[in-house]
């Protein structure tokens, strides 16, 4: 049985490598987008629009950080702002047509990269890995 400390160190190292690859891929999608900014755009799409405060809560970031990221997305023309029907002072942020095109291309690239990386994995290993990721990410 492997030593638990060694195993946890291995997991930490490998997740760090995964995060580095993800940051690098985000920069390849658009040189002015960080992984966080790209993730916010993706979340806006997945949630059919959201407010800046929703992004801050979802990503556990302060409002000023979210505001800077939104400003980048706005400057690049990747989002549109709509008046929040529940709070006329607020805004709902959604990907623009350009933002949706960028997300579609990013999803295509990620899917191709995953398919290539998992070529040698059988269905049982893939299913197990997916289950472990779901279990890991379910913990707050």
What's 124's domain CATH number?
1.10.10.10
Residue 122 belongs to what domain range? 4-138
Buried b (16+ CB within 10 A) or exposed e, 6-20: eeeeeeeeeeeeeee
Q: How many domains does the chain have?
A: 1
* pLDDT in single tens digits along all 140 residues of the chain: 679 999 899 999 998 998 888 888 777 778 888 888 999 999 999 999 999 999 999 999 999 999 999 999 999 999 999 998 888 888 999 999 999 999 999 899 889 989 999 999 999 999 999 999 999 989 76
Dihedrals φ, ψ of 27, to 5°? Answer: -65, -30
Nearest to 41 by CA among 102, 105, 114: 102
For 117, half-sphere exposure in the C-beta direction (CA atoms, 13 angstrom radius) is: 10
- Give the other-Cβ count within 10 Å of 44's Cβ: 25
């Amino acid at each position: 049985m492997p030593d638990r400390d060694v195993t946890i160190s291995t997991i930490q190292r490998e997740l760090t490598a995964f995060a580095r690859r993800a940051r690098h891929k985000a920069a390849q999608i658009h040189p002015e987008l960080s992984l966080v900014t790209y993730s916010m755009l993706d979340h806006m799409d997945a949630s059919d629009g959201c407010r800046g405060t929703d992004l801050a809560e979802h990503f556990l970031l302060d409002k000023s950080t979210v505001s800077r990221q939104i400003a980048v997305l706005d400057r690049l023309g990747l989002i549109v702002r709509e008046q929040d029907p529940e709070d006329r002072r607020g805004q709902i942020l959604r990907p623009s047509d350009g933002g949706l095109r960028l997300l579609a291309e990013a999803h295509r690239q990620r899917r191709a990269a995953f398919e290539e990386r998992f070529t040698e994995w059988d269905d049982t290993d893939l299913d197990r890995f997916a289950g472990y990721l779901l279990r890991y990410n379910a913990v707050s």
